[in-house]
């Protein structure tokens, strides 16, 4: 976190002055107006990495307008698209201004103002292509768009609505610098930060879905979550049909679900601390795993990467509590399966069945969500499609979280259940154990000298030095 000081201000030689006639991509005056309207005292500015070079200039301009200090979040806890409430609370912030692309996941603690990015759009070319692809003016269409095109939506919608009487425009469930697209509705009727209202007498299956933008991730998530007839997208000046669930992707997810069923130890990775109901999601996953006799560990590692999770080799699979746009679910770099809350439901809830929809937003399947299903455990034995072992048999060892299940293993080692502690006990290398009285006393020796990539006592370094001496 960065607080601008007098020294920082002196280092900035000149702050660009933006007049009303110029286009300010950061909408500093609207940000200042939002702060004053909400009577906020301590405000944090959150930028993605690509916009950090402009952060000092924006902060100085906002300070000049407000007449007080603001803070810059120098590094986000989990991801740039999510609002980082945790870091902001380090300075007791009472509001956050988020710049750049946003996943629009609802926050639980602080009010947020989104300054959405702006991409250029040829609205005339879009409307011409739209009329060409949809010649039937009576067709029912739900219009979605990437947040980077929110500033153009009013002109596009006003041009298309007189032609298409059944055109439904989605709204962004946030407070942003584009007031036309903002709305505030109940979370139950919002999908991936977007809400829409259908005409009376129709349901979503009667509509076609259209998405404006190049963001394949956002489009894929919408297409998997909303069961319209067909999906279309506008990219590179053309409108084309989009396949919601590609066969290779779905096959891989089903394979990972089968791996989760075989897992004995599951890690619950918390990759968000700000999305509403993330604690409910954690408790739901823990309760489900316990009912299926799986030992679980709760992990919080900040930004997820393969190296961090490789430190837990005893864990067979990971369930990630994260925003829907997190890239870990598409990555093949991780050594163990990375699954979603919905896939835990598919693996262990016999009342949940595969359907054309795939819910990457965990809030949709939690209690009170539009697609919640009561948990019904399966007691029937089945055979693993990967190991051919029988699962759910009677002699499965029950896991427990109670402390009265302590068991003495050997030489005073105490373990709880049969999970990570047993793995550590059976592993040949266990780290820096004490080994009191087992090793002879050694005198102190000089350590390595030099840079980590080439110490002076490295064999190759020594041979090179001897060759030069000769």
Backbone angles phi, psi at 449, to 5 degrees: -125, 135
Are 102 and 13 spatial neighbours (Cβ–Cβ below 8 Å)? no
Given pLDDT bands bounded at 50, 70 and 90, which one contains residue 20?
A: very low
What is the band of 16 on the pLDDT scale with cuts at 50, 70, 90?
A: very low
Joined tokens for residue 51: 């916009």
Judgement on whether residues 279 and 322 belong to the same structural domain of the protein = yes
Check residue 64 and give its pLDDT: 92
Distance CA 448, CA 411 (A): 35
Average pLDDT over residues 250-257: 88
CATH of the domain at 176: 3.40.50.11850
Q: Judge whether 403 lies within some domain.
A: no
pLDDT tier for residue 464 given thresholds of 50, 70 and 90: low
pLDDT in the model for residue 450: 81
| Out of 77-86, 430-439, 441-450, least confident range | 430-439
Instruction: Supply the CATH number for residue 362's domain.
Output: 3.40.50.11860
- Same domain as 267, residue 197: no
Please state, for a pLDDT cut of 70, what percent of the chain lies above it. Answer: 82
| In the block, residue with structure tokens 């499609």 | 385
CATH number where 59 lies: 3.40.50.11840
Domain around 195: 123-242
Are residues 370 and 255 part of one domain?
Answer: yes
Give the pLDDT confidence of 261-280 residue by residue, as tens digits.
999 899 999 988 778 888 99
Q: Give the C-alpha separation, 469 to 72, whole Å.
A: 54
Domain boundary among 66, 98, 115: 115
Mean pLDDT (the chain) is 81
Poorest-pLDDT segment among 147-156, 290-299, 305-314, 400-409: 400-409
Do 238 and 252 belong together in one domain? Answer: no
Q: Return the pLDDT at 207.
A: 92
Q: Is the pLDDT of residue 129 over 50?
A: yes
Task: Note the pLDDT tens digit of each residue in 327-336.
Answer: 888 888 899 9
What's the confidence (pLDDT) of residue 17? 38
| Phi, psi for 45 (deg, rounded to 5) | -110, 125
Domain final residue pick, 115, 140, 173: 115
Whether residues 150 and 110 fall in one domain = no
Give the least confident one: 215-219, 357-361, 399-403: 399-403
- Rg over alpha carbons for the chain, rounded to the nearest Å, is 27
pTM score, two decimals? Answer: 0.77
Residue 469 is predicted with a pLDDT of 58
Asked whether the predicted pLDDT for residue 169 surpasses 50, the reply is: yes
Is pLDDT above 60 for 15? no
**Do 169 and 199 contact (CB within 8 A), yes or no?**
no
Range of weakest confidence among 22-31, 357-366, 407-416: 407-416
Among 242, 257, 283, identify where a domain stops: 242
- Least confident segment among 29-43, 76-90, 294-308: 76-90
> What's the pLDDT tens digit per position in 371-430?
888 888 777 777 777 777 777 655 444 444 444 555 544 445 454 555 566 666 666 666
Q: Is position 452 within any domain?
A: no
Examine the domain organization and report whether 205 and 312 are in the same domain: no
**Number of compact structural domains in the chain:** 3
Q: Which of 124-128, 135-139, 444-448 has the lowest mean pLDDT?
A: 444-448
pLDDT at 368: 84
Residue 275 DSSP symbol: B
Q: Exposed, middle or buried by CB within 10 Å (0-12, 13-18, 19+), for 119?
A: middle
Residue 271 lies in a domain: yes
Is residue 262 domain-shared with residue 377, that is, in the same domain?
A: yes
Residue 34 has pLDDT above 90, yes or no: yes
- Which tokens go with 30? 């609207």
Residue 179 domain-assigned?
yes
pLDDT (0 to 100) of residue 467:
60
pLDDT of residue 458: 72
Give the residue-averaged pLDDT of 215-221: 82
Amino acid 185: pLDDT:
65
- Domain membership of residue 466 (yes or no) is no
- Is it the case that residue 45 has pLDDT exceeding 90? yes
Q: Write the DSSP string, 202-233.
A: --GGGSEEEEESS-HHHHHHHHHHS--S-EEE
268 and 376 fall within a common domain? yes
Q: pLDDT tens for residues 436-445?
A: 788 888 888 8
Whether pLDDT at 55 is above 80: yes
Domain contains 218: yes
pLDDT of residue 107: 84
Q: Closest Cα to residue 323, out of 402, 400, 233, 217?
A: 217
Q: Give pLDDT, residue 276.
A: 84
In a domain, 438, yes or no: no
- pLDDT-derived band at 215 (thresholds 50, 70, 90) equals low
276 & 385 share domain: yes
DSSP, collapsed to helix, strand or coil, labels residue 91 as helix
Distance separating alpha carbons of residues 214 and 232, to the nearest angstrom: 12
Residues 253 and 335 occupy one common structural domain: yes
Do 225 and 129 share a structural domain?
yes
Q: Is residue 410 part of a domain?
A: no
Unique residue bearing structure tokens 């909303």: 226
Whether 256 and 367 map to the same domain: the answer is: yes
């Amino acid at each position: 976190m960065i607080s601008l000081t007098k020294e920082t201000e002196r280092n900035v030689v000149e702050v660009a002055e933006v007049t009303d006639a110029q286009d300010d991509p950061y909408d500093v005056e609207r940000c200042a107006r939002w702060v004053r309207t909400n009577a906020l005292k301590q405000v944090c500015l959150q930028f993605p990495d690509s916009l950090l070079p402009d952060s000092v200039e924006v902060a100085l301009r906002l300070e000049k307008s407000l007449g007080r200090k603001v803070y810059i979040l120098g590094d986000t806890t989990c991801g740039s698209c999510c609002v980082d409430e945790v870091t902001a609370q380090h300075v007791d912030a009472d509001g956050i201004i988020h710049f750049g692309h946003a996943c629009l996941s609802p926050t639980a603690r602080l009010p947020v103002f989104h300054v959405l990015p702006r991409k250029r759009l040829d609205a005339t070319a879009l409307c011409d292509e739209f009329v060409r692809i949809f010649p039937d003016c009576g067709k029912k269409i739900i219009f979605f768009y990437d947040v980077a095109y929110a500033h153009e939506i009013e002109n596009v919608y006003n041009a298309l609505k007189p032609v298409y009487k059944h055109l439904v425009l989605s709204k962004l469930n946030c407070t942003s610098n584009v007031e036309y697209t903002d709305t505030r509705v109940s979370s139950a009727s919002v999908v991936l930060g977007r809400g829409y209202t259908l005409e009376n007498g129709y349901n979503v299956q009667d509509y076609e879905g259209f998405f404006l933008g190049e963001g394949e991730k956002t489009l894929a998530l919408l297409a998997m979550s909303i069961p319209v007839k067909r999906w279309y997208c506008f990219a590179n000046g053309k409108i084309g049909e989009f396949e919601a669930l590609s066969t290779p992707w779905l096959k891989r997810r089903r394979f990972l679900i089968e791996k989760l069923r075989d897992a004995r130890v599951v890690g619950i990775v918390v990759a968000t601390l700000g999305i509403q109901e993330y604690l409910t999601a954690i408790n739901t996953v823990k309760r489900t795993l316990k009912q299926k006799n799986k030992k679980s560990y709760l992990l919080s590692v900040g930004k997820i990467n393969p190296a961090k999770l490789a430190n837990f080799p005893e864990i067979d699979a990971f369930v990630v509590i994260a925003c829907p746009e997190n890239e870990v679910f598409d990555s093949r770099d991780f050594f163990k399966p990375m699954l979603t809350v919905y896939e835990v439901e598919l693996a262990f809830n016999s009342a949940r069945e595969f359907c054309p929809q795939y819910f990457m937003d965990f809030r949709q399947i939690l209690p009170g969500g539009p697609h919640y299903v009561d948990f019904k455990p399966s007691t029937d034995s089945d055979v693993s499609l990967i190991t051919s072992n029988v699962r759910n048999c009677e002699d499965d060892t029950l896991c427990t979280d109670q402390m009265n299940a302590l068991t003495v293993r050997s030489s005073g080692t105490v373990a709880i259940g049969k999970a990570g502690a047993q793995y550590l006990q059976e592993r040949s290398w266990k780290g820096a154990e004490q080994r009191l009285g087992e090793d002879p006393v050694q005198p102190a020796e000089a350590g390595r000298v030099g840079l980590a990539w080439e110490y002076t006592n490295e064999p190759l370094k020594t041979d090179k030095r001897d060759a030069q001496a000769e």
